[in-house]
A and B are shown apart, each in its own frame.
Chain A
Amino acid sequence: AQSVTQLDSHVSVSEGTPVLLRCNYSSSYSPSLFWYVQHPNKGLQLLLKYTSAATLVKGINGFEAEFKKSETSFHLTKPSAHMSDAAEYFCVVQGAQKLVFGQGTRLTINP
């Protein structure tokens, strides 16, 4: 069975500093992995997805994630945080006919 663990429930950074949101996954086969973002009182929006074509995946708004099979990780990063990045972020693995969500990481940006 597929599962994901987001290692931090809350991350707080200052504007202009790097962002790191950590995700470990478990999958019995080559996984399909995603990061989704949810802004307050909004639906979820796809940030990026791992397609197995490249281990470093670039997404929208300057975010990227690196797939590391040896570490079973898919951490999300951004070089410089912006106030508009404040949101909840979900790491997701695709299971049999369903998406399996991590618990979410709330990102706070300090001015």
Chain B
Amino acid sequence: NAGVTQTPKFQVLKTGQSMTLQCAQDMNHEYMSWYRQDPGMGLRLIHYSVGAGITDQGEVPNGYNVSRSTTEDFPLRLLSAAPSQTSVYFCASSYVQTNTEAFFGQGTRLTVV
């Protein structure tokens, strides 16, 4: 069972560079989301999607873009990286219904210098 797969696990970027964090799930979940984790702040929602072709902003969307062309994939794009985007990023997926378990990837540790 692959579950939720994130790549890469580690990345160092220079300020102004762009990159895409990949996320794929094989559980046919409708709902996918991206969070960033910073010390003492828990996980904060960046963007989410309730199905292919549908995305919406979360709590901290600035500087990030997403798209959802298939049920399985939900990439997160940083168009022009900034040091403030240094963080650990988690992708998660679940069924849309309430009170269902969310499954998380292993995380991507991103450093912007």
| Residues of A close to B44: CB separation below 8 A | 101
| Residues of A close to B90: CB separation below 8 A | 43-44
| Residues of A close to B35: CB separation below 8 A | 101
Q: 5 tightest A-B contacts by CB?
A: A101-B42, A43-B104, A32-B99, A44-B104, A101-B43
1/0 contact string of B75-113 vs chain A (CB within 8 Å)? 000000000000000101000101101101111000000
Q: Which residues in A have some Cβ–Cβ distance to B below 8 Å?
A: 9, 32, 34, 41-46, 49, 51, 90, 94, 97-99, 101-104
> Count of chain B residues with Cβ under 8 Å from any Cβ of A?
25
Q: Tell me the smallest distance from the CB of A28 to a CB of chain B, in Å.
A: 14
A43-B42 contact, Cβ under 8 Å, with A51-B99, A97-B56, A98-B58: no
A9-B99 contact, Cβ under 8 Å, with A42-B106, A43-B106, A97-B56: no
The reply to whether A43 and B43 form a contact with Cβ atoms under 8 Å apart is: no
| Residues of A close to B31: CB separation below 8 A | 97
Asked if B48 CB lies within 8 Å of chain A CBs, one says yes
Q: Tell me the smallest distance from the CB of B4 to a CB of chain A, in Å.
A: 8
The reply to whether A32 and B98 form a contact with Cβ atoms under 8 Å apart is: yes
Bound Cα distance from A101 to B104, whole angstroms: 14
Asked if B53 CB lies within 8 Å of chain A CBs, one says no
Bound Cα distance from A41 to B90, whole angstroms: 12
